[in-house]
Amino acid sequence: MAESLDAHQLIQLAQSLTRMQSAITDYELHHYTELSPAQKNKLEDSLSQLAVAAGRIYAYSVQLEFQEAALQLEEIKQATEGLKKFLKTAQKIQQVLDIVGSVASLADSIISHDIGGITTGIDGVIQMLGNN
């Protein structure tokens, strides 16, 4: 079964091609006077092809990294949207709990016949309901 290479593996491959290019250049420099013009041209063509291949593989590895990063950013975006929805729900629940607390406090004031507490409680409940 064929497997795809990841960005790191592609970089390693491109580095191997670059090392091969360097080895061929070293060979050419050490044996330059022994090589025929046709051999020199063939070596230069090979070096050019290796350079192009290594460059393309490096570029593809960068493209692959960006694609992987884009996927991760999309996952983060989705998680952020889910968190925003959760926070909105939590805020609504907190508002309901605040209203329930105010109504309970108002009920306590009514039971204890605390006129000041009743007035404050009614104002608080009205204000909370008006904010929602």
pTM passes above 0.85: no
**Is residue 11 within 8 Å of 58, Cβ to Cβ?**
yes
Query: Rounded distance, CA 69 to CA 67, Å?
Result: 5
Q: Which two tokens stand for residue 65?
A: 């990294």
In the chain the first and final C-alpha atoms are separated, in Å, by 60
Token couple for 124: 């608080």
What does the pLDDT profile of the chain (132 residues) look like in tens digits? 457 888 889 999 999 999 999 999 999 999 999 999 999 999 999 999 999 999 999 999 999 888 888 889 999 999 999 999 999 999 889 888 888 888 888 888 889 888 888 888 888 888 877 776
